[in-house]
Each structure stands twice: as structure tokens, then as C-alpha cells.
Amino acid sequence: MTDDWMRTFEFVTVIDIFADFKPLAWMEGLTFFWPSAFLQEFINAKGNEFASVRINGEAYRLKTITGKRSHSDIAAWVFKDNCFFTPKPASAKLPFSYNIIPDQIRWLAASTIVRINKSKRQNKMPFPRWPLDLTVDSIEDIERCCVECEDIITKKRESSIQLTHDIDTPESLENLHLFLEIEEKHHVHSTNFIVPRGWKLDFSILEAVKKKGHEIGIHGYNHDNRTPFLSSIKMEARIDEAVELLLDYKIKGYRAPSLLMSAPLMEILGKHFHYDSSIPNSGGFYSSQRNGCMTARPFYYNGILEIPLTLPSDANLLFQNKKEEEILEMWIKLTKIILKSGGTVNLLTHCEKRYSGNKKMLDIYDEYISYLNSLNLPNLRTLSQLHGRLSIEHNEMKRNG
Ligand SMILES: [Zn+2]
């Protein structure tokens, strides 16, 4: 990223949204990175005032645009530059599978990477803003609401909530029931991504998970972090083998190990799956910088639905030495913001004891789901249920042009 590119963006805090523009009210008090060109247009426009914002300590009013736009599709452009991992992370460059490194050393390595990325980021990396960046959603809503020749948002967006687990190890699969029992107590279901070729799977556990109404998805091949960087033929062979092995579980979705994604992998996934859920809203400091799509709304990319991970995962927070209470507080705070913005709350937890498979973390998981239930939202779904609902809307939109 060049300095020049960075200078074309501004750090904008929305102070106030004016009464006629209720669909934008969720932005009040939040900070976004807006392209300068986009901002200039709304500052210089001649229409109705819809927001007051602060940029570098100075207040500005934004006005609706009445004529033709000079910049459209900015949201798509911003997002495209950020959502894919281009550089290979160190774990994908090792001459052996990183899975053979003992857990404690891996943990140490991961938390060191987080610390290094965190210190680098302070002066260099402006976004995505961790732990949550809704820049793309803010641009999208302003474009739809404040450009008078375009459609005004009439329909309220339906938020939804998803709970997911990545099952990376035999220990994790053995502990999974601890999480499912909590979920079932609260009458909710989760989506569980299984590594198909990492170790010998205990199919009796998978059978029980399926029977109880939870979803099973595929989590890479053997978790060696190499799949996204292989040739298309090798990638395809891995995916064919994984899908074949788990044929009985009606697999609809994919989650990439370590959330490593590449454009070629995404394209192949589109042929085999209904959705992918590997791109974080803001990956923060692990495992690479600048990984994040800056939206909390599911979107279609080359024909496949991407359901972004919108809350920081347990691993992400534990690597930063966050305490259980801080983690719960952060999840609840971000959940409120995402639901208000019409986004999808999508949480990833890991079932090993060193992550969430211990008493303290299970307790906050329980408390978090109690909180979700207290909201009385009817939309706590598995990812494939969310895909089902969104694909109906998507097809209707396509039909209506
Ligand atoms: Zn994993």
C-alpha cells in the first residue's frame, strides 16, 4: 500500500444523522474510512443535509446529491482491494506441515505474530479498523439513501446471528458436545466446520451432531494452510476428496483454515458449495494484516455467497491476552452495533481446552447466548439456513432486474 493511496482516505466520525434519514441512524457515533473523493461529493452537494461528521477535528455537513454521480461503485472497489489474502503467510511456506509443530510453540508463534502485527499496524495500516469496520456498509447505505436519482432504502434489512465452531483437532471434536449442550439448552443450533483429512474422524460424533439439527461444513483439507495457494488442479482434487468423504452430511459451506483465502480458491468453491464463511470483517492482527472485507452483510462474490465472520474469534482475542469478561463484553458490544446496522453476527469459537473448551470460556459462551436470546430475535440460524433465506431474495432481485 503506498502513502499516496492512504492519503486518499479520511477517518470520519459520524456525529449526527438528521431526522429524515433514519436508515442511516446506525452510523451515529461510529468511525469509518471514506474515500476523499466520495466525501467531497457529499460535502459539495446541493441537496438536503443528512449528516454532520467530524474529519480531523473539523465538523462538516453532508448533503444529498441530486444529479449524476461522478463516483459510483466505491463500496465494491474498497472491498475488493482488501478481502483476499495475497501474500502467503509464513505457515504456508514451511517445508513441512505446520500441524506437526507442538501446540504450545504454535500458540507462542501465533501470539508473537499478533504482537508484531499490532505494533506495525499502529503507524502504518489504517484499515480495516479492528475489531469491527462497517465502512463498506456505510458507503452502501449513503449511496442508496442520499443520491436522489437512485433507489431510497425502503425495506429494513434483516439482521441475523450465527454461531460456528472450527473443529481443527480430535480434541475439539470430542469437546464439541460441551458447546452443543449449551446451544440446545437455549434452543439454538450451530455450524461446525470439520477438517476432513487431518486425522481419522469419529463419524459417530458427526452423526450425533447432524441428528440434533446442527450443521456440518468443511474446514479445508488437512489444515496445512496451503490449499489457497496450490494449483487449481490440486485445489480441486482436495475439495473433491473432502466433499466425497462427508457426502452424508449434505455439506453446503466452506470455512478456510486460518481464514486464508485466495481468489482462485474462491472461484473453485463456487462450483462445490452454496456459501463460504472465511473472510473476516476485520481480521485484526492475526494471521495477516489488512485481512478483512469491512462489511457485516453477506455478499455474493463470483456467484458464491460470502458470509463474513463479524465478531473477533476466541483465538483472536485470547492471543491478545484478553480476559474472559473482556471477551464477553466485546462480543456483546459489537453484536449491538452489527444488529443495528442490519448486518450478520457471525461468531467463531474453537472447542479445544486452550481456547473455549474450558469452564470459564464455556460460561461466557453460555452467557453470550443468553444475551442473544434476551433480544427475542427469531433469526439465530445455521449458515445454510441463512443462505437459504438470502438465495430466495437474491433470485427475486435477479428476476426483477
Ligand atoms: Zn481451523
Q: How far is the CA of 33 from the centre of ligand 1 (A)?
A: 30
CA dihedral 377, 383, 388, 394 (to 10 degrees): 90
pLDDT at 153 exceeding the cut of 60: no
Q: How confident is the model at residue 178 (pLDDT cuts 50, 70, 90)?
A: very high
Domain with CATH 3.20.20.370 in the chain: 160-391
pLDDT tens per residue across span 126-140: 668 889 999 888 988
Mean pLDDT of the region 16-42: 91
- Going by pLDDT thresholds of 50, 70 and 90, the confidence category of residue 4 is very low
Integer Cα distance of 280 and 92 in angstroms: 19
In angstroms, rounded to a whole number, what is the distance separating the alpha carbons of residues 238 and 222? Answer: 9
CA of 168 to the centre of ligand 1 (A): 5
User: What is the CA(92)–ligand 1 centre distance, in A?
Assistant: 14
- Please tell me the distance between residue 228's alpha carbon and the centre of ligand 1 in angstroms: 14
Cα distance between residue 168 and residue 166, in whole Å: 6
pLDDT for the residue numbered 294: 85
Average pLDDT over residues 18-41: 90
What is the CA(244)–ligand 1 centre distance, in A? 20
Q: Where are the beta strands (DSSP E) in 18-71?
A: 31-35, 49-55, 58-63
Q: Return the pLDDT at 158.
A: 79
At 314 the pLDDT is: 97
Q: Residue 318, CB half-sphere, CA atoms under 13 Å: how many? A: 19
Residue 165 Cα to ligand 1 midpoint, Å, equals 9
Taking residues 244-269, report their average pLDDT: 92
| Whether 275 contacts 384, CB under 8 Å | yes
Query: For residues 310 and 292, is the Cβ–Cβ distance under 8 A?
Result: no
User: How far away, in angstroms, is 20 Cα from ligand 1 center?
Assistant: 45
Share of the chain above pLDDT 90, in %: 57
Residue 289 to residue 68: CA distance in whole angstroms: 36
| pLDDT confidence of residue 172 | 97
Give distance in angstroms: CA of 374 to centre of ligand 1. 30
pTM of this structure: 0.89
Most confident range (mean pLDDT) of 80-89, 344-353, 385-394 is 344-353
- Which of 103-112, 160-169, 195-204, 234-243 shows the lowest mean pLDDT across its residues? 103-112
- Using the predicted structure, report yes or no on whether residue 397 has a pLDDT greater than 80: no
Distance (Å) from CA 187 to ligand 1 centroid = 26
Span from the CA of 348 to the centroid of ligand 1 (angstroms): 10
How remote is the C-alpha of 375 from its chain's centroid? 21
Answer whether 252's CB lies under 8 Å from 269's CB. no
pLDDT value for 123: 43
Cα–Cα distances in angstroms (integers) from residue 99 to residues 105, 107, 168, 196, in the given order: 11, 12, 10, 14
Cα(326) to ligand 1 centroid in Å equals 23
Position 251 scores a pLDDT of 95
Is the pLDDT confidence value at 59 over 80? yes
The predicted pLDDT at position 385 comes to 93
**What is the CA(239)–ligand 1 centre distance, in A?**
16
Out of 22-36, 125-139, 158-172, 259-273, least confident range? 125-139
Please state, in angstroms and rounded to a whole number, the distance separating the CA atoms of residues 392 and 356: 35
Is residue 90 over pLDDT 70? no
pLDDT at 5 over 50: no
CATH topology of domain 160-391: TIM Barrel (3.20.20)
Supply the pLDDT for residue 109: 60
Rounded mean pLDDT, 66-90: 59
Mean pLDDT of the chain: 85
More confident residue, 169 or 67: 169
How many angstroms separate the alpha carbon of residue 105 from the centre of ligand 1? Answer: 16
How many whole angstroms separate alpha carbon 240 and alpha carbon 138?
38
Q: What is the pLDDT of residue 84?
A: 59
